[in-house]
Amino acid sequence: MAEHITPRSTSYSDWYVDIVLKAQLADYSPVKGSMVIRPRGYALWERMQSALDGMFKATGHQNAYFPLLIPESFLHKEAQHVEGFAPELAVVTHGGGEKLEEPLVIRPTSETIIWSMYRKWIQSWRDLPLLINQWANVVRWEKRTRLFLRTTEFLWQEGHTAHATEDEAREETLRMLEVYRTFAEEYMAMPVLTGVKSESEKFAGAVNTYAIEALMQDRRALQAGTSHFLGQNFAKAFDVQFQNRESALEYVWATSWGVSTRLVGALIMAHSDDNGLIVPPKLAPTELVLIPIFRSNNREQVLPAAEKLADELRKEFRIVVDDDESNSPGWKFAEWEMRGVPLRIEMGPRDLENGQVTMVRRDTGEKEAVALDAAGARARALLDEIQQNLYQRALEFRGANTHYPATWDEMAALYQGEDAPGGFAVAPWDGDAATEALIKEETKATIRVLPFGNEEEARGKTCIRSGKPARHMAVFAKAY
Amino acid sequence: MAEHITPRSTSYSDWYVDIVLKAQLADYSPVKGSMVIRPRGYALWERMQSALDGMFKATGHQNAYFPLLIPESFLHKEAQHVEGFAPELAVVTHGGGEKLEEPLVIRPTSETIIWSMYRKWIQSWRDLPLLINQWANVVRWEKRTRLFLRTTEFLWQEGHTAHATEDEAREETLRMLEVYRTFAEEYMAMPVLTGVKSESEKFAGAVNTYAIEALMQDRRALQAGTSHFLGQNFAKAFDVQFQNRESALEYVWATSWGVSTRLVGALIMAHSDDNGLIVPPKLAPTELVLIPIFRSNNREQVLPAAEKLADELRKEFRIVVDDDESNSPGWKFAEWEMRGVPLRIEMGPRDLENGQVTMVRRDTGEKEAVALDAAGARARALLDEIQQNLYQRALEFRGANTHYPATWDEMAALYQGEDAPGGFAVAPWDGDAATEALIKEETKATIRVLPFGNEEEARGKTCIRSGKPARHMAVFAKAY
């Protein structure tokens, strides 16, 4: 049998680490806080990259690459930015055997180096909008790390755009938030809430930060992507002005937005079970595993038939045939379940006699006999159903774990104590950072987003904690 | 008109920099020695990546990702490796506001961190071969840098494979050399010599280094990719042993191989001319540019016809329509020539009356009228011809600049003095590093490769410099 995974009910965090390590998605590295992304984990990231990159290009963005190392002084040009990132910097002090005149930091994010270049590239309204994305690694020194979810180095993409007007920049910010929502829901099968972050949770240097927030199976929230409206903060810090159509000089308006390898962690935690990883078909590096079942006396019947079917399916599907004779069928079933392949096809001698195969869904475990000549069509339909079902299941789970507490006691009970239910709490908030801090102190729950239109809904209500007039309907949760 | 480019005859190096900057492939960054790869340059790299990645996967390799930061002590485990790389290291001494217990170096290459992981992953012959590739950034502190060709940070891929036998590892080393040769010739349209490096030019830590070497238009050679047979050097340094089929412990055999963004520089220098960049069609982000030519009185005839043709061609080609009315056709011709688009299609009112378009090749400047309904087929044929012609032209150029000096005076004359012809010199060498060093001192020419089978050809000959019995027919050149 495949290796044992700690059940979620015993320890959710041990279960998570077991899946990452035993499905060989990643491994601890000898460098504290850094991880190694193994081929099976990297293949998931590659499929995510490919889908996102297509969506970025379809919305007019181009890829580029900016330096890893940034002069330390650049970060100091934007006051909030340096305040947010200074505690997390890795600093290069020596290069080529000599002490550097000015220390260089490894990018924790690239606004500063990019806006120093935009200053060279933007002179006129004709140079705008400038719509650039970068796939890169970044380093943020973290005290407590967790595979995929929080590591000192991670891979991500960061979009950095420059616009002639505030309206255009705000539109871009929301466009990319929508790209992230679409990707999370349609590819990752992971429903997300969208909205704006409170002041205390926003990106260091942004005017507004928008986010997509998902709910994991342990009822904790995970911020899965952010899109920032940066106003003219970086244009002013790096003196990036353009000549408008009336030949007057104006500062440029900016956005930035990113998702990271954290999404791989989110994917695992959103769908997987006690048998291992579950991957939505659209992101599965292998969609189908075909397992021929035979003994020495019927090897010559089963194997060629399996190969024939595989050759046909290969035209349309990403398929692996597991005909390794050193493992038993049962071992293979468990192994491929562990690896999260969405659909298993079994082909034994009795199947063959009946001109059929057996298909087994990873998400529900349901088995069905399928006529050989309908295998491709049925596999396509089942993969679509699995993709839909994973989304639907996660959506129902989120619905069942979204609460509307009427009183502070009800809300506190959601988060206090070991067996507290957790999940999302939607509640009126007075908009005061002190109240937000108090709620966090008492429950460890933070404001995940202020949904679009929340101000309307808050009208006439009183804050769940302070009793003062509410300004927002906020969504709270304990979060990763 | 588009911006002026220094002619090659005036200054080859100014010409190169002009193309890089004015075709907006890259830009200098505020960090000494680092460059910014702009969208048009990055698009070339993306197409290279895509082709190479497909070839790596077709030969059984998987992608993974290993940490950027490596404990300094790891490099010291392989004596030659640290000797080669120590002078080029960037060192992180502080993280998260504190001094690190052990300094971390930014990877100059990843053998050490990867073999520290292979130790965990490899126990048995069943775990072999392990065929992993990584797309990543690396940093090597360089005193003299040049856009794309030599920069402190660069992007590359590095393959790292582990094998049970020496034969398998040697076979892999040559297989990947052949992948590089195929890529250089079939995609980059750049003929390359292959062979082994002399001891003095090999990778620090390798047993043998193989390379592909191309000749640039200034008759200097450029090493465009390397594949290393590492023997058991890193397995011994990191104690990576496996249990063989007979249950005995053996050290693992290794290879590594890489190409980098340097290839973009090679691509520019191999084909471009005084009008700007020339890109082989297979790597061109834009294959066709369609330029409608009209005035206000025939705008409504020409523009819709151009859009109709573009929609049709778009199904098969990467095409851009330049209908910007603020620039003249002449300006656009020069601009798109500068950018290196392989084929220009002009469509004016007279073309339309005749039911035709005009096609202009970037490589030769040849024009021809093509019937509208044959546009797609003719474009395909012309792009194929351009791809072939660029290769053929580069091959003939290399042929014309490959010399077989009979005496040391003839050879020295190839490289000494300002107007020396340069190019490749094929000459017998005694195999002595002292002779190699003397030749380098006197001519600045180095041994680029020892071609396969060169020992046979050297038999009975005497060394071009020392007069001693020759052991190799070596290929010399001044190199980038």
Condensed to tens digits (0 to 9), the pLDDT of residues A5-49 reads 999 999 999 999 999 999 999 999 999 899 999 999 999 999 999
pLDDT tens figures, B106-119? 999 999 999 999 99
| A34: chain B residues, CB-CB within 8 Å | 67-69
Q: Which two tokens stand for residue B97?
A: 């506001």
Confidence of residue A265 (pLDDT cuts 50, 70, 90): very high
Facing residue for B93 by CB, picked from A46, A94, A142: A94
Pick the CATH number of B286-384 from 3.90.1150.10, 3.90.70.10, 3.80.10.10, 3.40.50.800: 3.40.50.800
* A2 has a pLDDT exceeding 60: no
What mean pLDDT do residues B392-413 have? 98
Q: Quick one: closest CA in B to A138, which residue?
A: B68
A443 to chain B, any CB pair closer than 8 A? The answer is no
Query: What's the gap in Å between the CA of A18 and the closest CA on chain B?
Result: 16
| A74: chain B residues, CB-CB within 8 Å | 30
Cα B163 to the center of its chain, rounded Å: 27
Neighbours of B418 (CB within 10 A): 4
Q: Quick one: closest CA in A to B154, which residue?
A: A67
How far, in Å, CA of B115 to CA of B233, rounded?
10
| A132: chain B residues, CB-CB within 8 Å | 39
| B113: chain A residues, CB-CB within 8 Å | 29-31
What mean pLDDT do residues B60-64 have? 98
* A1 has a pLDDT exceeding 50: no
Q: Quick one: closest CA in B to A97, which residue?
A: B87
Across the A/B interface, how many CB contacts are shorter than 8 Å?
162
| A88: chain B residues, CB-CB within 8 Å | 96
pLDDT tens figures, A375-412? 999 999 999 999 999 999 999 999 999 999 999 999 99
What mean pLDDT do residues A220-241 have? 98
A424 to chain B, any CB pair closer than 8 A? The answer is no
B147 to chain A, any CB pair closer than 8 A? The answer is no
| A38: chain B residues, CB-CB within 8 Å | 64
| B38: chain A residues, CB-CB within 8 Å | 64
A377 to chain B, any CB pair closer than 8 A? The answer is no
CA angle centred on A448, ends B95 and A17, rounded to 5°: 55
Neighbours of B268 (CB within 10 A): 27
| B89: chain A residues, CB-CB within 8 Å | 94-97
* B40 has a pLDDT exceeding 50: yes
Q: Quick one: closest CA in A to B40, which residue?
A: A64
pLDDT tens figures, A317-362? 999 999 999 999 999 999 999 999 999 999 999 999 999 999 999 9
The proportion of chain A whose per-residue pLDDT surpasses 70, expressed as a percent, equals 99
By residue count, chain A amounts to 480
Q: What is the pairing mode between strands A319-321 and A343-347?
A: unpaired
Instruction: Determine the pLDDT at residue A143.
Output: 86
Complex ipTM > 0.95: yes
Facing residue for A141 by CB, picked from B34, B35, B95: B95
The proportion of chain A whose per-residue pLDDT surpasses 90, expressed as a percent, equals 97
Query: What's the gap in Å between the CA of A427 and the closest CA on chain B?
Result: 36
A67/B153 CB distance under 8 A: yes
Confidence of residue B250 (pLDDT cuts 50, 70, 90): very high
What mean pLDDT do residues A431-442 have? 98
pLDDT tens figures, B145-159? 999 999 999 999 999
Query: What's the gap in Å between the CA of B65 and the closest CA on chain A?
Result: 5
A37 to chain B, any CB pair closer than 8 A? The answer is yes
Facing residue for A92 by CB, picked from B43, B87, B91: B91
| B34: chain A residues, CB-CB within 8 Å | 67-69
A153 to chain B, any CB pair closer than 8 A? The answer is yes
The proportion of chain B whose per-residue pLDDT surpasses 90, expressed as a percent, equals 97
Facing residue for A66 by CB, picked from B36, B74, B90: B36
The 3-state secondary structure of chain B reads CCCCCCCCCCCHHHHHHHHHHHCCCEEECCCCCCEEECHHHHHHHHHHHHHHHHHHHHCCCEECECCCEEEHHHHCCCHHHHHHHHHHCEEEEEECCEEEEEEEEECCCCHHHHHHHHHHHCCEHHHCCEEEEEEEEEECCCCCCECCCECCEEEEEEEEEEECCHHHHHHHHHHHHHHHHHHHHHHCCCCCEEEECCHHHCCCCCCEEEEEEEECCCCCEEEEEEEEEEECHHHHHCCCEEECCCCCEEECEEEEEEEECHHHHHHHHHHCECCECCCCHHHCCCCEEEEECCCCCCHHHHHHHHHHHHHHHHCCCCEEECCCCCCCHHHHHHHHHHHCCCEEEEECHHHHHCCEEEEEECCCCCEEEEEHHHHHHHHHHHHHHHHHHHHHHHHHHHHHCEECCCCHHHHHHHHCCCCCCCCEEEEEECCCHHHHHHHHHHHCCEEEEECCCHHHHHCCCECCCCCCECCEEEEEECEC
CATH superfamily of B402-477: C-terminal domain of ProRS (3.30.110.30)
Q: Quick one: closest CA in B to A92, which residue?
A: B92
B397 to chain A, any CB pair closer than 8 A? The answer is no
Residues 97-116 of A with CB under 8 A from B: 97, 104, 106, 113, 116
B74 to chain A, any CB pair closer than 8 A? The answer is yes
A91/B96 CB distance under 8 A: no
pLDDT tens figures, A142-162? 889 999 999 999 999 999 999
| A104: chain B residues, CB-CB within 8 Å | 31, 90
pLDDT tens figures, B200-231? 999 999 999 999 999 999 999 999 999 999 99
Specify the fold of A282-386: Rossmann fold (3.40.50)
A68/B106 CB distance under 8 A: yes
Its CATH architecture, for the domain A12-271, is 2-Layer Sandwich (3.30)
Query: What's the gap in Å between the CA of B93 and the closest CA on chain A?
Result: 6
A120 to chain B, any CB pair closer than 8 A? The answer is yes
| A83: chain B residues, CB-CB within 8 Å | none
B106/A87 CB distance under 8 A: no
* B1 has a pLDDT exceeding 70: no
HSE-CB of B174 using CA atoms within 13 angstroms? 9
* A3 has a pLDDT exceeding 70: no
B153 to chain A, any CB pair closer than 8 A? The answer is yes
What mean pLDDT do residues B11-28 have? 97
How far, in Å, CA of B160 to CA of B179, rounded?
15
A67/B36 CB distance under 8 A: yes
A325 to chain B, any CB pair closer than 8 A? The answer is no
Instruction: Determine the pLDDT at residue B3.
Output: 67
pLDDT tens figures, A84-124? 999 999 999 999 999 999 999 999 999 999 999 999 999 99
Domain ranges of chain B: 12-271, 286-384, 402-477
A30/B64 CB distance under 8 A: no
Of the residues B40, B92, B153, the best mutation for testing chain A's interface (the one with the most A CB atoms within 10 Å of its CB) is: B92
Facing residue for B68 by CB, picked from A30, A104, A137: A137
Query: What's the gap in Å between the CA of A454 and the closest CA on chain B?
Result: 37
Query: What's the gap in Å between the CA of A429 and the closest CA on chain B?
Result: 34
A63/B42 CB distance under 8 A: yes
Instruction: Determine the pLDDT at residue B164.
Output: 98
Q: Which two tokens stand for residue A203?
A: 């990106």
Facing residue for B67 by CB, picked from A34, A68, A117: A34
B155 to chain A, any CB pair closer than 8 A? The answer is yes
| A97: chain B residues, CB-CB within 8 Å | 86-87, 89, 141
How far, in Å, CA of B177 to CA of B411, rounded?
29
